[in-house]
Amino acid sequence: MIELVVFLAGAVIMALEILGTRVLNPAFGSGLYVWAALLTVTLVSLAAGYFLGGLAADRWPSRRALFAIPLLAAALLLVLVVASPAVLGALEALELRLGALAGAFTLFGLPLILLGMVTPFSVRLRAREIVRLGQVAGRLYALGTVGSVAGTLATAFVLVPHVGHRTALLGIAALLGALGAAGMALAGRPGRGVAAAALLGAGALALGLAGPRPTAIPGVLYDSEGLLGRITVLERTYDDGYRERFFLVDGACQTHLPVDPEDGVDCEYIRLFDRIARWRPAAEHAYLIGLAGGAIVRLLGARDFTFDAADIDRRSLPVARDLFQAFDGDRLRFFLEDGRRQLRRMDRRYDAIVIDMLTIDALPFHLYSREAFAEARDRLRPGGILALNSSLTFDRAGEFSSASLYRTLRTVFPHVRCYRAHTDRESRTENRVFFASLEPLEPDPPEDPVAPRRVHFGGAEGMVFTDAFNPYDVLLSSTSDTFRRMFRRAFPEVTRLR
């Protein structure tokens, strides 16, 4: 039984580290700084747990004391589930890095300290002879590490994609409670163990039943947690009867389309991609990296394009097809794969390759490097166009990131054009859409309403992003934080789903 609790403690430590990114996401996203905060909290907490576990084991060397640890950790996890929205709400006004650290310590510090106490406590109970102490310690720490491997795989491959972080935390709390209660019973305190297990089980069940019911919230048509994050489809009806649907990932809008397909596309930055058909009237086949709600498919599909689309989240296909009515029939082939990896495997060339994977938090920076652009170039037909969406805030890092994209594209393509969309002077944010080709792009006629939105970089400061050094996601950390706050105000319905 001691070995089982060591194994489970190792598994839960890694599960909490991964699930922590989902818990912190509504306030701080899940980017580099959040991962760094969780790693820091995990390591500091484990160090404290190892130290305190050794002290406690020498003072109370009993199995009852050992099995009280998972019971306490289970209770704290239930508190975490209940308290996390209020805690994050109180901390989200802090600067991103400080807020992520404070949130991680507040919510996960104590449970991780308790779990860190398990292995040194178990070593004390198992090491009956000093001459075997090293062997016992090595075996138990190895067992805990094997548990961490199992917890990592189970959380990343099963729990997050299929049950979501809230249900996973409740299940982990119930498992820890059951193990602690069983250990207490075997240690000679069955009454206390059963009572503790009953209380924890009732708490987990009550929290599970009391969880948010997405379809009961007006306007929410779909809500699911998985690999890409929490996907929510929200519908709004305006005073003039116009109906619009929004594709949200962790509360951030990725796509919005009119409910009626006959109304086309109303998203300003998406409409810019129509310039592909204008510059290349004979174009007919495109490769998409990122499907989301299928806005680009609806836009270019109206010009008889066909598509190969790659996305890492299988939910995008039915959502785009059924809830956004972005396409039907055989117009699109879907590949459940990383877009860059899948492009290398394709045995055909394209008139256009479109990268629209600019999620607010988990920016796939490997798609925005010189090498990635070169791979795209090699899959284009003569005259083909690479197009990509970007966003920025009007600060030094944001402008540097945009100029760097331009410089990186220019190392691969001689002709690069950029246009702005969704410019918001109040929040100091905008989208920028880049187009790149080996052949010239037709000049904008003076009467073209988009012409004034062209961005000229001139001698703007920037760097070339490469696979070896690409800080694009770090440069956009302030942008991500700004957009996250904007979307929380714009979509208050989603905050009720935390």
Residue 216: pLDDT over 90:
no
Segments of the chain assigned to CATH 3.40.50.150: 220-495
Residue 117 has pLDDT above 90, yes or no: yes
How large is the average pLDDT for residues 459-484? 87
Which position has the higher pLDDT, 215 or 275? 275
φ, ψ dihedrals at 62, nearest 5°: -140, 155
- Judge whether residue 191 has pLDDT over 90: no
pLDDT higher than threshold 90 for residue 44: yes
Q: Cβ neighbours of residue 443 under 8 Å, at least 6 residues apart?
A: none
Q: What is the pLDDT of residue 215?
A: 52
Question: How confident is residue 41, by pLDDT bands cut at 50, 70 and 90?
Answer: very high
* Residue-averaged pLDDT of the chain: 88
Considering the chain, what percentage of its residues have pLDDT values greater than 90? 54
**Helices assigned H by DSSP within 29-95:** 32-59, 63-91
Residue 3 predicted with pLDDT over 80: yes
Task: Please state which architecture CATH assigns to domain 220-495.
Answer: 3-Layer(aba) Sandwich (3.40)
Looking at 3.40.50, 1.10.3470, 1.20.1250, 2.60.120, the CATH number of the domain 2-211 comes to: 1.20.1250
Q: How far is CA 140 from CA 119, 146, 149, 154, 287, in A?
A: 7, 10, 14, 21, 51
What's the CA angle centered on 198, arms 73 and 158, to 5 degrees?
55
**Amino acid making up residue 478:** S
pLDDT tens sequence across 266-285: 899 999 999 999 999 999 99
Contact between residue 12 and residue 176 where contact means Cβ atoms under 8 Å apart = yes
Is residue 467 packed enough to be buried (19+ CB in 10 Å), middle (13-18) or exposed (0-12)?
A: exposed
Taking 60 as the threshold, does the pLDDT of residue 149 lie above it? yes
Task: Using alpha carbons, list the distances in angstroms from residue 206 to 78, 81, 192, 196, 321.
Answer: 10, 12, 21, 15, 36
pLDDT in tens, 233-253: 999 999 998 999 999 888 888
Q: Which of 68-82, 114-128, 198-212 has the lowest mean pLDDT?
A: 198-212
Give the pLDDT confidence score for residue 479 in this predicted structure. Answer: 82
Mean pLDDT value across residues 344-366: 86
pTM: 0.82
The count of residues in the chain is 498
Find the Cα–Cα–Cα–Cα dihedral 362, 363, 366, 370, rounded to 10°: -170
- State the Cα–Cα distance between residues 13 and 53, nearest whole angstrom: 15
Q: Is the pLDDT confidence value at 380 over 90? A: yes
% of the chain exceeding 70 in pLDDT = 91
Confidence (pLDDT) at 203: 55
Residues of the chain with CATH 1.20.1250: 2-211
CB 308 within 8 A of CB 287: yes
State residue 209's pLDDT score: 44
